[in-house]
Each structure stands twice: as structure tokens, then as C-alpha cells.
Structure 1
Amino acid sequence: MYEAFNRRDTAAAKEIFADSFYSHPLKTSGWECVQRAWQRMWDQHPALKVTLKDLVADDQRVATRTEMGGFVDGSTATMLEMFTFDGDRITELWGLSAKPQASS
């Protein structure tokens, strides 16, 4: 998912997210909502990239900590996300992001 985001590959969302995908932060469903959200982010911050910092998984869930950089103001943000899966597709997402901090 993060690799697809960094490649600007919206078409990959259809393969990564289940048709029934639900995003709690966006309060919407379907893999198309991911495509729209990614595109909005790129439109506002053309250099935006995600770097995976930590990943913890069990049989049903994956939790990640990532850093987003490339905001137009030079700031970074930390995201914490938790995903559930059906097979190899993401079915549900919960997420928090820390307010972007100016880079030094």
C-alpha cells in the first residue's frame, strides 16, 4: 500500500483494498475512497511520500507507524494505522496522525 502511494499508483488500490473496505478516519467505504483521498493529498502536496517505520502483525491485524514527508510547508507527520484483512486485501482501516511538525 505504501509503495503504491509513493508510486502514485491509484490503480493499485483496487487490488490492495477489498470492495467492502471501510475507512474509519474517512467515514466512507470502497476502494475508490482510497483513490480519491490519495489524489487529494498529492494535489495539495505533490512531493508527499510515506516511510514505514514500524510494523506489528498478528493473524488478523496489522499495525503500522509511518512518517509522511514532502508537505509543501516542509513539515512531517507521524501516522498510526491499524488494518484488518480478508485474504490479501485490506477490509478496514483505523488511523491517527500527529499534527505536522516543521522540519529543522
Structure 2
Amino acid sequence: MKPRQKPSIASTSGASHMLQRNGSSGGGGRAQKYTQLDFGALNIHVLRKYRQVFGLNIKARSSKDDLVVAATRHFSNHTVDEVDTIARFLYTVHSNKGRIHYGFDGRWTRK
């Protein structure tokens, strides 16, 4: 019997060109990895929605360049506790029995 091979996963996402994975290794610890998002590749309507949802301190009818700068600054200032995020995700999936409904605004709602 032949040993099983892991299937290779090809990137088929249309937004895959927007994400860039970076890593920097410190002395002897775990490498710190983060993801950069190219907000310049997003549509101006998406940037305006980002401004509205996160309450960015910028005018509603700002240019795309101004929105990109504000969104990039806002996104880079957020830190994520990976363990806490995974725990909350698993709790949400478990408490909703695996059913998460995404509403019109992209936020999950219980059904």
C-alpha cells in the first residue's frame, strides 16, 4: 500500500494578490508573522464601507488615496491575539451548531 500524500492546495481566490505574508525571526523565539493587505487594490466603495464600519476619522467623501492611507493606518494598528481569536471562533461555531449566517452588512447573525 502506498503512503498517502498531502493534497496540494492551489490558490484560486481572486483576492489572493492582495494579501502578502511576511515573517521576521527574532533571537531564538517563534517567528512573528503578519499579513499586509493592499488597500489600494480595493474598490472605493469598499474603502468607504470600511471607514463607516470602523468609524475612521476621515471625511465621508474623501479621495481613494486618503481612504487607503486611513484604512492602512487603522489596519496596521490592530493586534490580534491568535489563541483568543481561535477560541472565540470555535465557541461561536459550537454554540451555533456550525451554522453562521452572514447578513447583508457582512456581520454574522444567529438564525
**Which has a greater percent of strand?**
1
Q: Which structure has more helix as a fraction of its residues?
A: 2
Larger gyration radius, structure 1 or structure 2:
2
Q: Which one has more relative contact order, counting CA pairs under 8 Å at least 6 apart?
A: 1
TM-score by length of 2: 0.28
